[in-house]
Amino acid sequence: MDVPVTERITEDGTVLAVEGDSKLTARDIVVPSDLSSAAFFIVAAALHDGSELLLPGVGLNPSRKAVLDVLIDAGLDIAVSARREINNEPIADLLVRGSSGSASGPLVISGDIVANLIDEIPILAVAGTQLKVGVEVKDAGELRIKESDRIAAIVENLKRMNADVEEFADGFRVGRSQLSGARIDTFGDHRIAMAFAIAALFAEGETEIIGSEAASVSYPAFFEELARVIY
């Protein structure tokens, strides 16, 4: 928009500055599809044999794409194509095909990468119930103080669905499990609502999600979109 922006590195970090009284020039702006929201659909499709789902124009900003890297490393069939930049943001199309994943060792999420995955951990926990190696999350104590205590919410709801799950102070471990339908509590948390809607797709029997309207905080049309791609 033709606003002068300066960047400088200091001892305290990167400082960005814009000039006051700038004249903004109108531009066409394209907002990429949100990878964090797409992650729910990626897990749903990638872990259902025979599924195929195309997600066009997904944002792949390096600070947000850790969830995609983890899922690909776990052996899920996700093809990244048509890489391009729009408005200085990297985007690509994602083609997801159903498979069970082929990671050879335990999928452990810990250390520095946790900060770039903190919002996707609920759906990664659900993915762990379907992966041969499961998933273990450490160093994620921040989840205790999100919209809900997400560690407690994940563990409680997975236990209700008869999952193999163990809680830690700063995370949890989930083993591959045959999920059963259950009455799920979102605790008013949008990401818990969406993650367990995906868990319900893997479960035998009916699942009831109490407080499902919480999903509208970040994805008002989530359940409509989910129904559209399933049926």
Q: Is 164 a catalytic residue?
A: no
| All domains of the chain in start order, with CATH | 35-230 (3.65.10.10)
- Summarised one tens digit per residue, pLDDT across range 128-167 is 999 999 999 999 998 898 888 999 999 999 999 999 999 9
Which tens digits make up the pLDDT trace of 189-209? 999 999 999 999 999 999 999
Has this prediction a pTM greater than 0.85? yes
Computed over every residue of the chain, the mean pLDDT equals 94
| pLDDT exceeds 80 at position 101 | no
**Residue in 49, 69, 119, 139 annotated catalytic:** 119
Q: How far is CA 182 from each of CA 34, 163, 173, rounded to the nearest angstrom?
A: 29, 11, 20
Tens of pLDDT, residues 67-100: 999 999 999 999 999 999 998 899 999 999 998 7
Instruction: Give me the DSSP letters along 11-25.
Output: TTEEEEEE-TTPPPP
- Distant-in-sequence, close-in-space partners of 160: CB < 8 Å, separation ≥ 6: 182, 183, 184
